[in-house]
Structure 1
Amino acid sequence: GVVYNQSGDERKAEYFLRKALLEKPNDSQATIILAQILNRIGDKEKALTLLSNAVARKNNDVNLMRRYAEYLSNEDPLLAISEFEKISNLDPDNTNIAYMLALLHLSQGNENSAKAILKTIKNNSQKSNDTQFYLGNIAESEGHVTKAILHYSKVESGQKYLLAQERLINLFRETSSYDAVIKYLHSERKTKPNYAKNLYQIESNLLLSIDKKHEAYNLLTEALSIFPKDVNLLYMRSMSADGRETFNKMEADLRSILDLDFSNPTALNALGYSMLIYTDRTNEAYDLIKKAYDLNPSDPATIDSLGWAHFKLGNIQDALYFLRRAYQLNKDAEIAAHLGEVLWSLEKREEAVKVISGSYKEYPKNDTLIKTIRRLNLNIESES
């Protein structure tokens, strides 16, 4: 059975493993492998029943109990918690079991139970970064900002490091000056060069969020001197040059991305849409957007761009078709502004006002929406 499983013949593997279990019903390895096969072929209930019966027969087999609890995690989290607690009582020093139990408690909203477990394993070298991250999450949800910062700052590496940095930056912005946040990020870049590129991105996102486009552009130029031809950095720098007066810089970076990846739908759409709103190169913009759409026809932003390009070209019915599609997929403020303007141009005034006013209530500071309201001379701003 094991050999057939390794060769990928699941039906034969199942047959021989069942045969082996008839002779040795307490064979844990055969039980676990058979459960894996049943799960792979879609018989989850049979896999759970098999493991449940095996655990009932061998109620102190930690490995078997763990497999059963892991399978239960998605199907029945509360029962999984009960099973992991039994394992933890049998093997109290098992950090992995404690960690999985804590995450299950978190998934069920049992923050106090999760916190108590995480505190017992936070100094374990293998789980330290992850446990500190989740302790930070809990402290943040409880409103303990200082404690949250302390926990997040102890995440030194691993998968949770960058997430912890993003959370830290948000908390620092609440409690510290902008200069202190920048100083912290500079320090992290020096001490953790492996994460430097990502930290540049985090800092540039921060700068863009407070409308410091020029500073973000300079920072990303510095980053690109260290990581040349990095597509993510090039794209971010293009966004920091988003504007009519700086469109040439934006276009240069987006074309650099397309030189590296000529079928990048995000770059094609960004270049086409920016060209559409900042220049009179409407036909060229349409071609770029159409190519992006052909590559990614379900993306709401690209569908919106295509609809707006049709509007600029005078294809009003095509514009309405694509903008309705985009709006159905994503009721973004910019999409609402475009759809509203097309509806207005077609004398569908009541529907236009409904779309625009509904979006304005949700996004009262959106620049495109505000400009559309003023261009159409609507009274929505004064009413809200």
Structure 2
Amino acid sequence: MLPGLVLAALLVACNGLFGTARNGVDFASNDLRTSHSPLPQASEYVYLVLSAEIAGQRGDYAGALEHYLEAAKLTPDPKVAERATQIALYAKNLGSAAEAAALWSQRDPSNTAPKRISAILNLKQGNLEQGVAQLRTLLSLPSVDVESTLIELVKMLDGELSKEDGLRVMKSLQEAFPHVAEVHFAYALLATNKGEYALALDQTQKALSMQPRWSRAQLLQAQLMSQMGDSESARDIIRKAVSRDPANDRLRLILAQFLTKTGDLRGAERELKGVLSRDPGNDDARFGLAVLLLETGKEDSARAELRKLLGTEKWRGQASFYLGLLELRQNHLPEALVFFDSVDSGPSEFDARVNAVTVLVSLGRVDEARGRLSELRQRFPNESLRLYLVEADLLVKRKEPQAAFDLLTSALAEDPGRAELLYSRALIADQLGRADLLEADLRAVIEKSPNDANALNALGFTLADRNLRLDEAKSLIARAMQLKPNDPAVMDSWGWLHYRLGKLDVALDYLERAHRLFKDPEIAAHLGEVLWESGRREEARRVWRGALSKDPEHREMQRIRSKYREAFLR
């Protein structure tokens, strides 16, 4: 509901109107008393304010705004114009907000807030010249906070104006204030957000030429150099900034990040430990150190640091997530599940919940795992595709391909034509012996994405394996080879196709290359078969034995054992 004033009393003349805050905007200190100027025609003013409040309580924001704007025109009290401005902004009525802000500024000339709002509103409405002119006036006032005003401006320009218009506004301000470091810095921030790194670096350097010890600008300069591929220079900039301000732990944390990025993990660990020695309560440094210790294999030390963070609000969730990963790594499944389940918010929540599902499967609690996946799809609808695929893979591993097929069919009813779902269902259809559905789904993927190498390869291999339409199979796999020339799965298909074509030398060449890259049982089955048919039977046995030792239940190896029984008699 629109914030409104609760009229505790209605007094004519000097007593004024009093209000309290409601949902959204805080008006506790924004009463409409008129101690500095007399009320206008009392009855008309009171009628307008009361009408505005009643309209607001009923959700009629347009009516509330109309009446407050009229009331603002009747009184010199800036509080009324301020109120009208806030309501207009709340209702996203930019035209009325600009009108109300102009009234507010007229009634309170020393206040910079309405001037800032007016400038931004003009920019939002495309009145760039007028908005820039207002910003020039605003930034020239001795009372304005230049840096915070410009940071707010950059956020608006980045989110609501086109790249060209935003940069044009900042260029105009930079030309108007060539000797103001904050203007150059704001221009650099916007250019960074827009991907104009060379421009951003130039403006950052100009800001630093005026304020050489400005750490915020130094950090931006380092960030830009890193994004432009010069991590070493970025690191050196941060080192110099730290040497000038050795007590600045924020700089040291950023230096640790750069050291990690450039591979100097020992140096990063030293910096983080240094921060913690000076400030044991610096939880940001502690979390960074814990992650670094994990990366360097110091699991016990990492665990100790993470446990210290369990009592902090900011890092509790991520600490629990990493502790869960540590327990999972050591196959302590119940302990891992407890940690993953304790992550109920924050950036690690989704991954923690998916890992919890993995743990439940390992514990044999598959039905519970499936129930959680269903709940996750409701809670994280943007991740539903990934969750459907996770559950389908789970069912396939449980040797329930029909259930996996049905699940993906349901998912496709929700998201028709989704390539990932079609591709996965096609592979499961193959296990069910539904060659018609396999081919139909793969063709649907290729129709939507003609350069989907996986789908091209899968359909080409299916045709080759069934010894059907080999010319079409060759065309499909050749396209996949162009897209993924070094993919062992595609090499395997190409080799298997040539085996079907009777070209054993070509087949062996590609199958051997594929097997060297990826010791997969299916590739081994194909390679062994071509070796056997080429008369190289001992080599075939060696390849097959290696595959069986890895996965004795693999479907292709079961086919080989059935077809070449004599190969396994000794």
Pairing partner for 1:66 from 249, 253, 271: 253
Structure with bigger RCO (C-alpha 8 Å, 6+ apart): 1
Does residue 28 (structure 1) correspond to residue 215 (structure 2)? The answer is yes
Does residue 150 (structure 1) correspond to residue 326 (structure 2)? The answer is no
Does residue 361 (structure 1) correspond to residue 554 (structure 2)? The answer is no
Task: Determine if contact 1:60/1:90 at 8 Å carries over to the other structure.
Answer: no
Pairing partner for 2:445 from 228, 244, 257: 257
After superposition, the C-alpha distances for 1:295-322 in whole angstroms (9 at most, x for unaligned) are 2222110111011011101122221222
Query: Once structures 1 and 2 are overlaid, which stretch shifts more, 211-220 or 68-77?
Result: 68-77
Q: Secondary structure at the match of 2:251?
A: helix
Q: Name the counterpart of 1:235.
A: 423
Task: Trace 1:269-284 onto structure 2 (pairs within 5 A).
Answer: 269-278=457-466, 280-284=468-472
Q: Percent of pairs identical after alignment?
A: 31
Does residue 106 (structure 1) correspond to residue 294 (structure 2)? The answer is yes
Post-superposition offset of 1:233: 1.3
How many angstroms apart in 2 are the aligned matches of 1:224 and 1:126? 39
How many angstroms apart in 2 are the aligned matches of 1:294 and 1:43? 33
Task: Determine if contact 2:508/2:531 at 8 Å carries over to the other structure.
Answer: yes
Q: Name the counterpart of 1:320.
A: 508
Does residue 181 (structure 1) correspond to residue 369 (structure 2)? The answer is yes
Q: Secondary structure at the match of 1:368?
A: helix
**Bigger radius of gyration, 1 or 2?**
2
Does residue 225 (structure 1) correspond to residue 413 (structure 2)? The answer is yes
Corresponding letter in the other structure for 2:548: Y
Corresponding letter in the other structure for 1:255: R
Corresponding letter in the other structure for 1:65: R
Corresponding letter in the other structure for 1:175: L
Task: Trace 1:294-313 onto structure 2 (pairs within 5 A).
Answer: 294-313=482-501
Task: Trace 1:79-98 onto structure 2 (pairs within 5 A).
Answer: 79-98=267-286
**TM norm structure 2:** 0.59
Task: Trace 1:121-132 onto structure 2 (pairs within 5 A).
Answer: 121-122=309-310, 127-132=315-320
Corresponding letter in the other structure for 1:67: I
Task: Determine if contact 2:204/2:221 at 8 Å carries over to the other structure.
Answer: no
Post-superposition offset of 1:357: 2.5
Task: Trace 1:125-140 onto structure 2 (pairs within 5 A).
Answer: 127-140=315-328
How many angstroms apart in 2 are the aligned matches of 1:234 and 1:67? 44
Pairing partner for 2:386 from 198, 204, 216: 198
How many angstroms apart in 2 are the aligned matches of 1:270 and 1:158? 39
Post-superposition offset of 1:165: 3.8
Q: Secondary structure at the match of 1:220?
A: helix
After superposition, the C-alpha distances for 1:9-30 in whole angstroms (9 at most, x for unaligned) are 49x959968x959x95x55356
How many angstroms apart in 2 are the aligned matches of 1:235 and 1:35? 44
After superposition, the C-alpha distances for 1:240-299 in whole angstroms (9 at most, x for unaligned) are 211473111111111111121122111111112122224633333222222222222221
Pairing partner for 1:164 from 352, 361, 366: 352
Q: Name the counterpart of 1:334.
A: 522
Q: Name the counterpart of 1:286.
A: 474
Q: Taking structure 1 as reference, are residues 359 and 137 closer, same or farther at Cα in structure 2, changes over 3 Å only? A: same
How many angstroms apart in 2 are the aligned matches of 1:363 and 1:317? 27
Q: Secondary structure at the match of 1:114?
A: helix
Post-superposition offset of 1:70: 1.3
Mark the runs of 5 or more structure 2 residues left unpaired by the alignment: 1-183
Post-superposition offset of 1:159: 5.7
Query: Once structures 1 and 2 are overlaid, which stretch shifts more, 38-47 or 266-275?
Result: 38-47
How many angstroms apart in 2 are the aligned matches of 1:124 and 1:260? 48
Post-superposition offset of 1:51: 3.8
Query: Once structures 1 and 2 are overlaid, which stretch shifts more, 163-172 or 40-49?
Result: 40-49
How many angstroms apart in 2 are the aligned matches of 1:209 and 1:194? 25
Corresponding letter in the other structure for 1:314: G
Q: Secondary structure at the match of 1:72?
A: helix
Task: Determine if contact 1:14/1:37 at 8 Å carries over to the other structure.
Answer: no
